[in-house]
Structure 1
């Protein structure tokens, strides 16, 4: 969770990011394999050796269970074979006592040849059936990914922040640029094509936790740990685009972009750029960290969400506080506005999210939704009549605004989900995870793809946020994380795949 102000030097510390401490502690607990959780037939030594596996824990556990089932089936077949041998020996003794001869006493010949052959064939068939059933279970868990044929290519890395990046957004006006909000107390604007930093906003005294752009003007609003939200104007000129880098070229696997020298920001590095330090307006009615902010449709009002358990609605022109939205029992984590209607959704650590309706000036209704069992990290509107919510309970749920008693789809994952985004045209949900993965799903909960991650590309720490940019056919998805970098991706998912 984005944090309050404080020292920004060096990498993200545990004191400044309690969520990472909780995740590290829970991870250490999960890696302790108890006797009760160990599948029958799998020895402790095997489990310990599996700790070095690169497979995610749920897949590895599933494999261990399947192999345990195979082992138990082999044991049953072995016992049946022993009983069959005993029966053959008994029949041989009875035939010998009756004076009948068996060719060499060999149970595979003579009178018992047919029975033994049939038993051997039966054993072979059982083994084949068991193997086929087990492997089909394993393969089915990878079927969606293996048959997707989705193309996810890393195009550009945006490096220059001194600390983790909490949020990012794309401008809605020309020129189209990328904005990032960081724990280093700054917000940066980037050229999408060249990856060059164009402008730096340094008006906050704390971590910048959120950034959103005005729908029609060159204005941005940023929320901060200094208990304020700032509205500021910007003017940028795009540089001449350069040819894209060859991402397939070899590079040093040991190089970690999160360990770049801090001097790259203010010295000879990529962010020696104009700096804005004075906001157009300062919104300061909150009594705690302002975690998120967004523009209502039309851009004349903004909404802010805070750790003081309230969301505030302001007039942009006068900075006047219009409404205080109260009701959450714990700190707010996110807020989002509908693209075409005066609707606001707020998320909270109290496991709920609330829908606020300002369409009727005389009535401001609110609906509370309790679909999660842990912190709701974000809830966002889609272009249609849907809300998509993500949570630390490792689920993402799709809701219908017309009937939000229960979700119409539930996505279960292996890691906590941070600030999600939904593409307007293809309606694809991009999920950033604590475990550094980014996964793509459709609105019905079908997994479409997972963004590539290795020593050479992808995020090296927790992924905090995703943002779509469908106006750009090339770089149409952005992600950011606590490794101090934002990444631009080209996502190409066939229409036939989405219709499956």
Structure 2
């Protein structure tokens, strides 16, 4: 992405998102794999025969590798079954010599059958677990969609950014507006009802990775790839509302979607609106990209999370650094504050998230949670005593703050999960995915719905973030992604809970 200015803090590498770095790294590894790493079960002749295949080479190579692994697993299973058979025969011979039989001497019955079937069942389950995640994307495209469980209505598309949108948030004061943070170095404020852009913040020299609004005042904090976080004030006037379009579809609509080429976003172009360029406060203590920021309860302090592996706590009035929260082994990906208590949770690429407790001014305790096997992309508090964490390992886990040794619910998906959100009233989790889907689950892990995605609605690129807005009975869920747009949805939550 182009970066305005020539400072090192605004370089392209500084603004690159962790997910982009990871994908580029995995691609380089895949390209350098030699033919010596080819699975034993796949011969060179077999690979050459597939040259006329219509599948792209990376997909075909991946399939061949998976088939080779499956062949080796079944070969091991076959050898183990042969050994079991020999043990059974040997045992039968010994028992027959002692004048005993095992249910008529049939080796497929009795206690030995139980042992053999148990071993076979374990290996079969191992095969299912190992390859279910690898093939889920392919298989899911052929699944018949389930019956609709709710009606989701697309109300507004907020289009105006020149690059992907990383984050969005809804103000907690009047007038209620939507804020979006984009890789195009800007943050925009939108009228929820009309979809009109109201204000543009252009004070950053790098990608704007996060936006959060003050709990009681018309202020926002944005985190950026220029290694700073900005606190800035805004004043907006809402235009007259317009009636929403009559567009509705069942939540499990999974029609094929033809992607548009880069740059073909409807209404693309900068917003010709009032622009704020100077922040009221600049927080500069980080040595790397600031990936997220949030307000502590009361709005007198803020916390920021950075790729320098630290989170910082600042006083808003003086911009003074109060605490540096260290301990993560890799870059931080997100931070979130509790709505009513002085608690902070930070997530990281080191597969952990940490809970920081500032309720006692003299003691700042921290707890480390290791429930994931890949990058923890976000961890958020609920109104109750729960934390919900999402990860690139394709799982979302619900934790109890009173006993966080193990999750109380685990949600398994077919794609990496980005910045999640939980509705305050109905406690419904909205999951944005790399595969352009948005799914809704309850706190017990039961899937409630999938937002529609077709040629005429939904996201066309990776969905980066979700945000609930339960104060608005009409437009109560927002999503944003790398197709450069945010979308406002109406989710019939009452219907969802009835059908649950």
Task: Please report the TM-score for the alignment, with normalisation by the length of structure 2.
Answer: 0.73
Shift of 1:448: 0.5
Relative to structure 1, the CA distance from residue 7 to residue 247 in structure 2 (aligned partners, 3 Å threshold; closer, same or farther) is farther
Relative to structure 1, the CA distance from residue 403 to residue 45 in structure 2 (aligned partners, 3 Å threshold; closer, same or farther) is farther
Q: Deviations over 1:346-403 (max 9, x none)?
A: 0011111000000001111000001111111000000000000001111100000000
Match of 2:150 in 1: 150
Say whether the 8 Å CA contact 2:379–2:390 is kept in structure 1.
yes
Say whether the 8 Å CA contact 2:335–2:344 is kept in structure 1.
yes
Shift of 1:154: 1.0
- 1:463 maps onto 2:463 in alignment: yes
Match of 2:447 in 1: 447
Say whether the 8 Å CA contact 2:152–2:492 is kept in structure 1.
yes
Relative to structure 1, the CA distance from residue 186 to residue 97 in structure 2 (aligned partners, 3 Å threshold; closer, same or farther) is closer
Relative to structure 1, the CA distance from residue 339 to residue 82 in structure 2 (aligned partners, 3 Å threshold; closer, same or farther) is closer
Relative to structure 1, the CA distance from residue 88 to residue 245 in structure 2 (aligned partners, 3 Å threshold; closer, same or farther) is same
- Aligned mates of 1:125, 1:374 — CA distance in 2: 23
- Aligned mates of 2:89, 2:363 — CA distance in 1: 89
- 1:65 maps onto 2:60 in alignment: no
Relative to structure 1, the CA distance from residue 106 to residue 354 in structure 2 (aligned partners, 3 Å threshold; closer, same or farther) is closer
Q: Which has the larger radius of gyration?
A: 1
Relative to structure 1, the CA distance from residue 416 to residue 85 in structure 2 (aligned partners, 3 Å threshold; closer, same or farther) is closer
Say whether the 8 Å CA contact 2:390–2:396 is kept in structure 1.
yes
- Secondary structure of 2:9's partner? coil
Match of 1:116 in 2: 116
- Aligned mates of 1:355, 1:86 — CA distance in 2: 55
Q: Deviations over 1:232-261 (max 9, x none)?
A: 000000000112124379999999999999
Shift of 1:431: 0.5
- Secondary structure of 1:46's partner? helix
Any runs of at least 4 consecutive aligned residues in structure 1 with deviations exceeding 6 A, and if so which?
1-15, 24-145, 248-268
Q: Which moved more, 1:165-174 or 1:78-87?
A: 78-87
- Aligned mates of 1:264, 1:7 — CA distance in 2: 31
- Aligned mates of 1:306, 1:118 — CA distance in 2: 49
- Aligned mates of 2:265, 2:412 — CA distance in 1: 39
Shift of 1:5: 9.0
How do 1:406-421 and structure 2 match up within 5 A? 406-421=406-421
Give aligned pairs, total: 500
Match of 1:402 in 2: 402
Shift of 1:146: 3.1
Shift of 1:456: 1.3
Say whether the 8 Å CA contact 1:390–1:397 is kept in structure 2.
yes
Say whether the 8 Å CA contact 2:251–2:452 is kept in structure 1.
no
Relative to structure 1, the CA distance from residue 93 to residue 61 in structure 2 (aligned partners, 3 Å threshold; closer, same or farther) is same
Relative to structure 1, the CA distance from residue 124 to residue 482 in structure 2 (aligned partners, 3 Å threshold; closer, same or farther) is closer
Relative to structure 1, the CA distance from residue 28 to residue 428 in structure 2 (aligned partners, 3 Å threshold; closer, same or farther) is farther
- Secondary structure of 2:81's partner? helix
- Secondary structure of 2:104's partner? helix
- Secondary structure of 1:131's partner? helix
Shift of 1:495: 5.8
- Aligned mates of 1:121, 1:286 — CA distance in 2: 52
Say whether the 8 Å CA contact 2:254–2:453 is kept in structure 1.
no
Unaligned runs of 5+ in 1: none
- Secondary structure of 2:241's partner? coil
- Aligned mates of 2:354, 2:171 — CA distance in 1: 26
- Secondary structure of 1:264's partner? coil
Q: Deviations over 1:88-133 (max 9, x none)?
A: 9999999999999999999999999999999999999999999999
Say whether the 8 Å CA contact 2:3–2:12 is kept in structure 1.
no
Say whether the 8 Å CA contact 2:40–2:68 is kept in structure 1.
yes
- Aligned mates of 1:487, 1:105 — CA distance in 2: 68
Q: Which moved more, 1:152-161 or 1:266-275?
A: 266-275
Shift of 1:455: 1.7
- Aligned mates of 2:313, 2:110 — CA distance in 1: 93
Relative to structure 1, the CA distance from residue 70 to residue 493 in structure 2 (aligned partners, 3 Å threshold; closer, same or farther) is farther
Relative to structure 1, the CA distance from residue 414 to residue 56 in structure 2 (aligned partners, 3 Å threshold; closer, same or farther) is farther
- Aligned mates of 1:119, 1:265 — CA distance in 2: 55
Match of 1:98 in 2: 98
Relative to structure 1, the CA distance from residue 42 to residue 159 in structure 2 (aligned partners, 3 Å threshold; closer, same or farther) is same
- Aligned mates of 2:53, 2:368 — CA distance in 1: 42
- Secondary structure of 1:174's partner? coil
- Aligned mates of 1:112, 1:283 — CA distance in 2: 69
Relative to structure 1, the CA distance from residue 255 to residue 25 in structure 2 (aligned partners, 3 Å threshold; closer, same or farther) is farther
Shift of 1:41: 16
Say whether the 8 Å CA contact 1:70–1:134 is kept in structure 2.
no
- Secondary structure of 2:434's partner? coil
For the aligned residues, what is the CA RMSD?
9.6
Match of 2:7 in 1: 7
- 1:21 maps onto 2:21 in alignment: yes
Relative to structure 1, the CA distance from residue 31 to residue 341 in structure 2 (aligned partners, 3 Å threshold; closer, same or farther) is same
Q: Deviations over 1:288-325 (max 9, x none)?
A: 11110000000000000111111111111111111111
Say whether the 8 Å CA contact 1:155–1:488 is kept in structure 2.
yes
Q: Which moved more, 1:127-136 or 1:253-262?
A: 127-136
Shift of 1:60: 15
Relative to structure 1, the CA distance from residue 127 to residue 468 in structure 2 (aligned partners, 3 Å threshold; closer, same or farther) is closer
- Aligned mates of 2:21, 2:132 — CA distance in 1: 43
Q: Which moved more, 1:42-51 or 1:464-473?
A: 42-51
- Aligned mates of 2:344, 2:288 — CA distance in 1: 20
- Aligned mates of 1:109, 1:373 — CA distance in 2: 41
Shift of 1:271: 1.4
